[in-house]
Each structure stands twice: as C-alpha cells, then as structure tokens.
A and B are shown apart, each in its own frame.
Chain A
Amino acid sequence: MLQCIFLLSDSGEVLLEKQLTGHRVDRAICDWLWDQILTQGESLKLVPVIASPTHYLFQVVREGITFLACTQVEMPPLMAIEFLCRVADVLSNYLDGLNEDVIKDNFVIVYELLDEMIDNGFPLTTEPNILREMLAPPNIVSKVLSIVTGSTSNVSNTLPGATASCVPWRKTDLKHATNEVYVDLVEEMDATINRDGNLVKCEIYGEVQVNSNLSGLPDLTLSFANPSIFNDVSFHPCVRLRPWEANQILSFVPPDGQFTLMSYRVMKLKSTPIYSIDNIAVQFRLPPCVASSDLSSNYGAVNVLVDKTCSWTIGRMPKDKAPSMSGTLVLETGMERLHVFPTFQVGFRIMGVALSGLKIDKLDLKNPLSRPHKGFRALTRGGEFQVRS
C-alpha cells in the first residue's frame, strides 16, 4: 500500500511530506521526479504511474500542485490514483481552492486531514461530510465562531456519530432552519466535428447534483420521466440499487450539503429545442509556421496571445447576424501553404436545458417533518467540443 505522500509546488518544492508506514521514503525521490518532469517538458505530460529506481510513483496534478504517492509493493493503481484525486478534492474543498500559498498557510489542517484519510497506507475515509464532522474547515465562519465562543480549536470535540451509524455519510441529528433540497442536472457535451461538418462523435456526460439541507434522517426518491436514455450510470454510495434496478427510481438518504448523486452517459441525442446559448467562446492555436496574424470578427472580441493561442469570445449568440471571424495569416518565409490546420475548441453554456433530454419526473420525501422547499435546475456546457479545420 502507499508508503508516503508528498505535495509538490509547481516549481518542485516539497510543500508537505506525510510518511505513512514504518518504511521511510526519502524526499530525494521528489528530486528524481522533478528531474524527470524537467527532462520530459511539461509536467502534465508525465505519466500518472511511473517506476523510479526505488519506488513506484503515482501522481496527480491539480492547479499546479503535484500530489505524489510512493509504494514498493503491488497494489491497484486506480485505487492510488482515485485516492490522490479525492485528497485533492477534499483539500480544495476545505481550503477553498488549491495553490501553493493556501497549502503553506494551512499545512497543519492538511496534516490533520491526511491523518484521518489514510492510516498505515490504507485509505480510511474520504467522504467530505464525515471529515467535516471531525475537522471543521478553516473558513471565516469557523474563525468568527471560535472568537465568539472562545474555543480555539477547529477540532470538534465529539467524534462523528456517523462512523457508527448505518448511513456513514450523514450524521444522525441534523437540524436545519430552512428545509430545502435542490437538484441540478449538469451536462457536458463532448463532440468532434470534421472539417466537412460531419459529426465524428458526440456524447453527453451528465451529473445529478444535489444540495440537501434537510433535518433529521430524510429518505428521498427521485424519478426521471425518461430513464431509458441512459447508456451507463454510476451512483453515490447513498443510492439504494435495488429500486433503481427494478423501477429506475433513485431512493436514498442524502448526505448533508452539496454532493453528486449520480453521473451518467448518454450517446443518442434527441433534438431538444434550444432557447439561448450563452458564453460562447472559440479557442484555437495557430500553426507554428504562422509568422504573424491579423484577425478580426464582426461580433465579439478576438485575442491572440504570444504562444499563438487565439481566443474569440462571442458570448450570447446575436439575433441579427451570424458571427464570423476573418483576417490574414502571414506564413514564415519559405512556406507556400499551410500544412497543418488548427482544431477549434468551442465552449458554451445553455441554461435551463439538459441537452440529453433528461427530465426529472418527481422528487418525494418519505418521512417529512415539514414540507421541504424543492428546486430544480438544468444546465449544459460545452465539454470537449472540437471542430476540425
């Protein structure tokens, strides 16, 4: 299992070192890795699972921070990588974002979190709700609270009740003044379109995100009007799988706060009426042989950076004209024609619509203390949406 975890800055500095077992991993391993990263070019290009002369390394890069784990024994690689991803998520969640400074300022809480997340190299819990019960996040609220109450510790005095409960993701006696639950369908559309306009591939990846602020032990059921469109689904551990298998109904006791209830893939798209596409932006990279460029558009702003990345921000689609971009490219001397053509990355946002066509039928609360407020929203974003030229 994992023997050590390092957090490295984007310049290779060790921000944090957490030894996990009796076998001590020397931090020289980080120097070795950094040399690799330097010789390989961009750090992102480095493979997530590599063999160093002494250890097998797993690395995950988030916001410039490298999460590095070492082991010398065989283990499931996806387990190590998933774990590092969760560590990154939890830290980002606790510290309101990830960067070098925020980790340096909060290294004590990072150590504390790691202590609860992994023992002797075996992951224990990475469930944010449970961790929050053990360690309050160092945000302003808790700072204010500590000043008001005179408590100087961000550690709760009680152990999470959840560890012993049968719903480990939720503590037992939650009370909310406002009883509310929001369900968002958030979809990303991945598509590749050829230069002749043909759709090479298209797929929607979606998540059902729930924000639950309900008192007591609420038992919810959520059903869809058209569950047959899913190609594959995966669920938060709170979802009971039998009702899903029998009737495609999501039955669950939700964790408190924001979480992803379910994620899904849809491959066959039905045409859905689209009302307004927003935040349209086109990004591409000019081929290296382009010496200079002069690009302009009849709508939106065009911006060309030194590294030849070009971005065209369109925003909302205008009603009166089709946006177009034109201009001249000057090739390097000796080049007669363009040999390579850029791929355009398109970003967009469609509010109020789940492009997959997924519709929520109803959300019921089985044991309501009072009628909760329920809210539903939908949103589709451009994921890897690319147009070839």
Chain B
Amino acid sequence: MAPPAQSHRSPSPSQPSGKGEVSDLKTQLRQLAGSRAPGTDDTKRDLFKKVISYMTIGIDVSSVFSEMVMCSATSDIVLKKMCYLYVGNYAKHNPDLALLTINFLQRDCKDEDPMIRGLALRSLCSLGVANLVEYLVGPLGNGLKDGNSYVRMVAAVGVLKLYHLSASTCLDADFPPLLKQLMLKDKDAQVVANCLTSLQEIWSLEASTSEEAARERETLLSKPVVYYFLNRMKEFSEWAQCIVLELVSKYVPMDTEEIFDIMNLLEDRLHHANGAVVLATIKVFLHMTLSMTDVHQQVYERIKAPLLTLVSSGSPEQSYAVLSHLHLLVMRAPYIFSSDYKHFYCQYNEPFYVKKLKLEMLTAVANESNTYEIVTELCEYVANVDIPMARESIRAVGKIALQQYDVNAIVDRLLQFLEMEKEHVTAETLVLVKDLLRKYPQWSHDCIAVVGNISSKNVQEPKAKAALIWMLGEYAQDMQDSPYILEGLVENWDEEDSAEVRLHLLTAVVKCFLRRAPETQKALGDALAAGVTDFHQDVHDRAFLYYRLLKYDVSVAERIVNPPKQAVSVFADTQSSEMKDRIFDEFNSLSVVYQKPSYMFTDKEHRGPFAFSEELGNLSIGTEPSDAAVAAQRVEANDKDLLLGTSEKEEGHGYGSNGSAYSAPSYNASTTAGASQAHFDLVSIDQPSTVHPPVSFAIDDLLGLGMPSAPSSVPSTLQLNAKASIDANAFQQKWRQQPISLSQETSIDPRGVAGMMNPQALPQHMQGHSINCIASGGQAPKFKFFFFAQKEDGSSAYLVECIINSSSCKVQLKIKADEQATSQAFSELFQSALSKFGSA
C-alpha cells in the first residue's frame, strides 16, 4: 500500500530546518516539566503550540516525546488536548515511549470532568500500539458504563479501535455484547449510533470465522432492531441518520404493508437539508420497491423534486455527487426527468466536471418532445469560447442523433458546425458525421456535399483525419475530388505520424480504386509502395494484404474490401445491463461516481492476506475504455503503465467514438463474407497498435474460420508448462489487450467451497495443475481470482478470470488466450482441475 513514490516537499526557507529549534524546545520543555509556578501553563501552551505546528508542517518532533509526557501533568484542557494530539501522532512509531503515556491517559480517564475523561479515552484508544492493548480494556469497560453520554459515545467507537488493534482482546473482554446492550438501551442517540457502526464492522469481519458473529450480524437486520432504529430516527444526528438509513436499505420487509409503513415514516427525510440524508433515504425507497413496478415508478416521481433541489442548491462539489446519481437513475428511467431537462442546462460559471455530467444528463433525457430544444441549447455551447466544452457538446449532439430522435434537425446542425471554421469543432464533428453515416446512410448526399468542401489541410487531429479519409474512400463515387485529395494525402505519407490515419488511408485508396480505377491508379501504387515499407507492423501487413488480394483477383478484392454495407442499427453499449444493475444495487456509493461496481475498485484493506496487488486492483478500469467516469480516466492518464497502452491514451477520453463504438455485436456474430470483411475493417481500425498483429485475426476471419470454438479441431492433450510465470503488470497488460476467447459458466464441488475458507487453498490446488494464481480477492459469497497458465511449448499463454460464488457454487470463467484455437481445450483442463478441488 505504498503511497505514490514521491519525495516530500522540502521545507521552504522560511520554515525552521528542524534540528536546532527542536533541541531548544526540548530544553525549554524539560525546564518546565516539574514547575508549578504561576504562569507555567501559558508558557507550556506556547511551547506545545510550537511543537504541534512543527509536527503539522511535517518536521519530526518525536524526539521531545518524553518531555511532552513529563509536561502533561496539567489541569489545562487545551494543553491536554495538544498533548493528546502529539501523542497520537507519534505513539505508533515509538511504542516504547508510548508506554510512558499510558499512566497519565489512564489517570485522565478517571478525571471528574467528563470531557477530559472522553478525550483521554479517545487518545488512549488511538495510540495504535498493539502491545499496549491490555491497558485499554479497563478504561474502555468503565467508559461504556460512564454516567456521561460523551464518554460512552467515545467508548463505543473505542471498542472498534481496540478490535482493529487486537481482535482477540476485544472479543475476550466481551465488548460486543456490551455494545449491543448499549445500542438497544442508551438514551443518547449518538451513543446508539456509534455502537451500531462499531458492531456492524466487528460482526462483518468476524462473520467469516464465527457463526455467532454471522448470526449477530443478521440480527442487526431483523425486524425488531430495524424498527427500533426507525422509531428513534429523529433523535439521531444527520450523519447517524445516514448510517441508520443504510442499514434500513438492507432490510427485507415481510410484505407490502410494511414497505409502505417504512416509506411513510421516512418520507419527511426527503426534505432534510443534508443531501447525504436525502440520498440515503432515496436508496431505501428504491430498494424496497424494486419488485413493485408501479410503486417503483411512483417513487421516481416522488424523489424527483428533492434531487433537483440538491443539484441546484448545493456547491459544485455536491452537485457533482448528486448528478452522478441522477445519471444512474436516468439510465434506468429516462422519462423521469424528460420534462425537467432545463435543470441540466449548463451555467457559464460552473466547473467543467459539473458541465460534463449535465451534458450526459441532457443526452440521456432527450426524447421526441424535447430534442429540438436540447439540441438548440447544446449548439450554444458549441459556439462557446471553452474548447473542451465545445467538444463535449458536439459529442452530446451526436449521441442524441444516434438515439434516433429528430435526426433531420440534428444533421443540419452538425453540418452547420462544419461551416463554423473552427478547427476543434470541425475535427469533432467529422468523427460524428462518420458515425452518423454508418447508421443513417440515407444522409450521405447531404453530408458528403458539406464534407467535400472541407480542406484536409484544416484537419489535423488523427481521429478526425481518419474519419475524413474513411468518408473519402467510402463515398468515392459521390465526391468528385476524392481520388485527388487522397492522392495528396498519400504524397505526404511520410509526414503522417498516426498509424491509424495511414491504415485508413490505405483502405480508402483501395476502396476508391475499386470504384474509380483510372483516377486512383497512381495514388494506389504510391500508397501500397509506402505501405509495404512502413515501419509500423499493422500498416505494413495491411499493405501486403491489399497488394496480394488485388494481384490475386480484383473482383475478390472488391467483394472483400468494398461489400455492400448494412446500416448499423445499434452501437454497442459500453456497459452491460448486469453491470448497470450492480451499480444500481450500490446506489449512494462510490460505484455510482466511478460507474463501476465496487468490487472492481474498493476494499483493498479488506481483501485479505493475499490481496489484489495495487495494479490489479485497477485492472478493470481499463476494460471499458469509453465513457468511464472522468475519475477513472484521470487515473488512466497518469498510470500509463498500469492501465492503458499509449494508443488508447491518445484518445481514451470521452464518448465512444473509439474502440467500443465500432465493435457492434452484429458484426462479430456473423460469418458471411461481407460481414467478416467489415469485421476485418473494424478490428484493424480499433486496434492499430496492439502487440499482436490484428491482421492475423483478419485473415482468420477472411478464411471464414470465425472465432475458433470447435474443440474437436484441437487435440485435448494440451500440456501446460509447470514453471510458467508472469508478473502482475505484464498479466494486466495482456488481460487488457486480448479479447475474451471463451466465457463459460460451470459449477464447483460444494466440498471445494468449504475449502475456500482458507484463501490459499484454491491457488495451491490449482498450482498443482500448473495453473498459477496471479491475484485474488473478494469476500463470501463472491470470490474473484485471476489465473495464468502457459502451453508446454510456450506458444500460448492463458489468462483466466474466475468468479466463484460460494453460496450458489456457480463459477464464471473468462478465458483469454494467445492461441485462441486451444482455449476450449484449456478450459476443459481448467475445469477438470477445478472440479478436483475439495474432493481430493
């Protein structure tokens, strides 16, 4: 869990360098230690302040530890607080010195002032020194029984701190049952809430090893306990309400009557000034009504106004968090905000992160009735001074166009963008026009007329250039100058840095040649000549492919490169519906902001002894490149080694004009000649710079093999290399780059599931079958493993993601392989190894 490897900022010249001043302080403190003269406290206070201020700016003042402790004998509460703060900061790393503090902290725990008792107890529990835990038990026990609620409140949290230091000490002292008593009896609501948070955490962590704890955890969700909390709801502080509401959202009511009772009771929470309370309440409402379709719809109606208030009344940071949730809701029920679209109009002064989410909302709520107005508003932003905003707005317009609402008006607007003569607007629009043409070929005449007027010199961005070139090739017969523009582009081949553009150029020239041979002959010759000497593997391979195809038979080439195209009806969605459901289940959590279920990114601490490596924890971020939360992209942008190869980083942002938008499922599925061409075309566009040449794929496809899935063609005597190894980084990179060759569901022997108790058991077992575990994680009932194996001769590596559900005994496998033809054989081998787990 190393923090980013960066040096500490060196102290600025105005700050003390440390040593001299610290030793001065030490002497001064020592002189004061025994003094009882009047005014001592004031002097002490100044010195303590100095010490704390050094500590705050990052200077190590641990050397005055014993002096601080000596000076701690005081009745001044501010002095005490500073002393507690100091001790809390340094005790963990100076356990020997920490022992010195026990005495005065324990004494303070018996002070007559409840505030001092509480503060001392809090400090005592926060020392974080494992071998001092025995000193905590007594004061904690007294604290839980203290007459003052402040002390009990501190003690309730203190128990959790003790548990994290030494679970056994905490359990042996029988603190959890004591907490439970307090939770159900205490008059002070904050004490009750603190007991709840502590118990939830302790019992959840204990549940995997202790049946009793698992039962206790269940009782927290039982009707009497939940009702007890609900009835005291109004006594709780707003923060405690959030915690209680989270608990309630997990409660499963017996019948609809109960659901209505709970919702009636909680309805006023929707008017709470604290947005966190409102969102927690909404979660309860949504979850309880999931199976009651009509009521669920009414809930959407009910929560609309409070959500819109939260968006418009809070700070930008609050708006951001709320908008993320609105986005999730609107994906499930687009109509709920369709008449409130004006709430998502962007304000001039809003930060970009808010505007971006608002644009996403606008695209999501667009329907037949409001599209015209929304697009008009978006056009305002396109003319905006702010370039990123203009780009995002154009993408938003394009997205709406692809949703099939009022396309006429939109195409006109898009074409107007091209006439604005702003480079960024033109670039962004070209990419969109290309996507539009793939879906609405009937617009080609209108579009081509305008696109033909664009000088290719004004288009510099690779994505835009590629789009323009694609159109030049695809609509060669309609664009008079097409061969000549292409010829000009081929002449500048050497200056073209982007391999993607060169790939497109090759294809476009060939397409153009097939339609207007005489005019394109020169360009074709030049392009193929440049292509076969290109240093980029993909470009080189594609040039050869075309060359040989054309040489073999032009009519075959025609069929393959230029078949009649079907319009794309639906572009692939970036998120599976299963994923969306999972995120919805985790409403009011980070998952919503990151747009991924939390198992993909959190809980590193709780992942157990052989946790995901940091890198693998982030692994999944790279798997759906487009449309991911900005947050994720930020990580992508910074951890190039961890997450993204350079090719995707260039254009990893924003809307799915890259990879994912192309890989329409309808293409992959069919194996007719036409479609496989399309697939070929697409694959090479998508993955211009992956390590393995995509052309080899393409050829597989061209030969009509499709994705190899017939096990019979492969001998089942697949031998694995027993010494195969790979480091986590390489694994991750490979995992990201390769497509899934096999996705299967199977089951596991229940006896095997029992073996999952020991987290090392399965990896050890699989290792016996030459399959190595790279990373693992999860908690019952859901465990996730990444495995790696290699073919005996080293020719193919196999990467496996294996998700085991220990309650249903179901196993989901995703296998990626270098040599796709053997993946079925490998899968069989893997499953047979897995089936032996627990039976041996």
Contacts and interface: CB of A to CB of B under 8 A. Distances in A.
A77 B321 contact: yes
A237 B273 contact: yes
Nearest to B41: A152
Given A73-B602, A119-B122, A159-B115, A49 B593 contact: yes
B424 to A, nearest CB: 12
B235 to A, nearest CB: 7
Interface stretch (A228-236, A297-305, A315-323): A228-236
B312 A164 contact: no
A146 to B, nearest CB: 11
Interface string A145-181: 0000000111101010001101010000000000000
Most buried by B among A21, A163, A190, A203: A163
A83 B42 contact: no
A321 to B, nearest CB: 28
Contacts of B348: 343, 345, 384, 386
Given A32-B4, A54-B3, A72 B275 contact: no
B347 A122 contact: no
Interface stretch (A10-18, A94-102, A359-367, A370-378): A10-18
Contact of B273 (A40, A200, A263): A263
Given A153-B78, A159-B150, A234 B309 contact: yes
Most buried by B among A14, A51, A122, A263: A51
B471 interface: no
B338 interface: no
Nearest to A79: B276
A17 B321 CA distance: 24
Most buried by A among B160, B271, B383, B586: B271
A47 B602 contact: no
Interface string B308-321: 11001111111011
Contact of B188 (A134, A163, A339): A163
Given A159-B115, A237-B272, A388 B605 contact: no
Interface residues of B, number: 125
A123 B305 CA distance: 27
B306 interface: yes
A200 B342 contact: yes
Contacts of B322: 78
B385 A340 contact: yes
B351 A44 contact: yes
A44 B317 CA distance: 10
B4 A54 contact: yes
A116 to B, nearest CB: 10
A53 B78 contact: no
Interface string B234-254: 010111001100100000000
B829 interface: no
Interface in B591-623: 591-594, 598, 601-606, 614, 618
Contacts of A21: 161, 164
B321 A73 contact: no
A6 B422 CA distance: 43
Most buried by A among B76, B113, B352, B614: B352
Contacts of B122: 115, 119
B58 A27 contact: yes
A215 interface: no
A45 B306 contact: no
A384 B384 CA distance: 17
B49 interface: yes
Nearest to A261: B273
A52 B154 contact: no
Given A81-B318, A122-B197, A155-B78, A22 B161 contact: yes
Given A77-B321, A205-B313, A260 B273 contact: yes
Sort chain A's interface into a size bin. Answer: 35 or more
Contacts of B602: 56, 72-74
A14 B237 CA distance: 30
A82 B603 contact: no
A45 B605 CA distance: 30
A315 B614 CA distance: 58
A53 B618 contact: yes
Interface stretch (A104-112, A268-276, A325-333): A104-112
B242 A36 contact: no
A285 interface: yes
A73 B607 CA distance: 11
Contacts of A194: 380
Given A60-B315, A287-B385, A235 B115 contact: no
Contact of A48 (B128, B238, B317, B384): B317
Given A15-B56, A122-B194, A153-B77, A49 B274 contact: no
A127 B606 CA distance: 33
Nearest to B85: A111
B603 to A, nearest CB: 6
Contacts of B588: 76, 78
Interface stretch (B177-185, B632-640, B675-683, B757-765): B632-640
Contact of B239 (A23, A73, A123): A123
Nearest to B122: A119
Given A76-B242, A200-B342, A107 B53 contact: yes
B545 to A, nearest CB: 41
A137 to B, nearest CB: 14
A83 B606 CA distance: 24
B216 to A, nearest CB: 20
A155 B77 contact: yes
B228 interface: no
B631 A49 contact: yes
A307 interface: no
A192 interface: yes
B631 A51 contact: yes
Contacts of B85: 111
B589 interface: yes
Interface string B512-533: 0000000000000000000000
A241 interface: yes
B318 A234 contact: no
A120 interface: yes
Contacts of A79: 239, 242, 276, 280
B537 interface: no
Contacts of B49: 108
A134 B678 CA distance: 71
A95 to B, nearest CB: 16
A53 B621 CA distance: 12
A248 B469 CA distance: 64
B626 interface: no
A74 B161 contact: no
Contacts of B53: 104, 107
Nearest to A67: B317
Interface in B117-174: 119, 122, 126, 128, 148-150, 153-154, 157, 160-161, 164-165
Contacts of B324: 77
B78 A232 contact: no
Given A29-B3, A340-B385, A49 B77 contact: no
A72 B604 contact: yes
A241 B265 CA distance: 11
Interface string B45-83: 100010011001110000000000000000011100110
Given A79-B242, A81-B318, A122-B157, A73 B605 contact: yes
A233 B638 contact: no
Contacts of B632: 51
Nearest to B239: A123
A155 B273 contact: no
16 contacts: A22-B164, A28-B8, A51-B618, A59-B317, A73-B606, A74-B602, A75-B590, A76-B589, A107-B52, A111-B52, A112-B78, A119-B157, A159-B150, A234-B306, A237-B238, A244-B271
- List 7 tightest A-B contacts by C-beta distance, closest first: A241-B268, A123-B239, A232-B305, A79-B276, A48-B317, A28-B3, A26-B3
Given A45-B352, A112-B78, A119-B157, 5 more contacts: A31-B6, A53-B4, A72-B603, A115-B119, A159-B150
